[in-house]
Amino acid sequence: MKFGTKAIHAGVEPDPATGAIMTPIYQTSTYVQRSPGDHKGYEYSRTHNPTRTQLQNAVAALENGTHGLCFASGMAAIDTIIKLLAPGDEVISTNDLYGGSYRIFTKIFQNYGIKFHFTNMADLSKVEALVNENTKMIWVETPTNPLLNIIDIKGCAGIAKKHNLLLVADNTFATPYLQTPLDLGADIVMHSLTKYMGGHSDVVMGAVVVNDDGLRDRLAFIQNSCGGTPGPQDCFLVLRGIKTLHLRMERHCQNGRKVAEYLKSHPEVEKVYWPGFEDHPGHQVAKEQMRDFGGMVSFVLKGDKVEDATNVLENLKLFALAESLGGVESLCGHPATMTHASIPKEDRMKAGLSDSLIRLSVGVEDAEDLIADLEKAIG
């Protein structure tokens, strides 16, 4: 099936009890058994739920994967993946990373003896130079948040296979509409389904997709033991959201391009971060591993003054100043004080994330209205 057909049909079936075409919300915590241990595949909703099962099947199908697991949040998904490791293990990741990922790595799991290295993963030689006998995992985020750097997933997979490491790809920004990391050699793909996959800013959820049966069993055991599972109504909302993922992503990409090109030509804008530009250092890799370049755009004003950035953020009207991204509505944010506030300033500055950087999640409104909103706020 083509992607749009998969988004609507793959992984889901009409309800066997009623024929309902939309997956019902199975709002139940437990299931009646015919005899001890003799049940219909469901015992307790922390372990399994029919609504969640359908969503997991759908997400796995979109990622060209075999097994999907859904979580109460993207952070719960990350938490479960890192729990595959043990004290003394080491992880290599990018120095331009979502602040929540950085926080759980350095403030939680580092306390339990897991070591994390952050480097510029656009240069694969720097990645391989950090590999040692304790390295167990490479964690890729591409495009990165918020500088939209591009990491070569296939290149990282080569390093991972060479050294027998797990390769994890955070595919939140791209979604499976733009790239499928399992096809490029990743072992685990994770998502914050809160973002583009849900698409309507009304649910918080995460997901993991794998091909390996044993890896799926290990992750499912951790999830069931630790309890990071979503509720059925949230699963229903994401199931509804992904049915229009292909349509929304087409518009996000179209609008993202128009907004990025407008900002690049603006006399008050110093730099625009968007991988669709030919002069973007990761443009060629992005062309090879992505269908399009997405709807996320970041930029810095000339003078690089925090007060100027604040003034723009306060005066935008259609771009709402709020956390998160990937909804149908356009959002703007200030990473230094919002999504990436947990990263020390010196580390942010080294990675190129200045205090005046503005991040835009370009929605599916009319692009002309979004550009007019930016014109008024910047002008």
Catalytic sites, residue numbers = 46, 98, 170, 195
DSSP string spanning 317-346? SSSEE-S---SSS-EEE-TTTTTTTTS-HH
Q: What pairing do the DSSP bridges indicate for beta strands 320-321 and 358-361?
A: unpaired
Q: What is the DSSP letter of 240?
A: H
300 token code pair: 């810095």
254 token code pair: 């179209």
User: SS3 helix, strand, coil % of the chain, rounded to 5?
Assistant: 40, 15, 45
CA distance 177 to 179: 6
Residues 336/342/343/344 CA torsion (nearest 10 deg): 90
* Beta strands across the sheet bearing 320-321: 269-273, 296-301, 358-361, 331-333, 320-321
Element holding 140 (H helix, E strand): strand 135-141
CA distance 297 to 208: 26
Q: Which residues contact 190 (CB under 8 A, 6 or more apart)?
A: 74, 77, 78, 81, 168, 169, 170, 171, 172, 206, 207, 208, 209
CA distance 78 to 347: 21
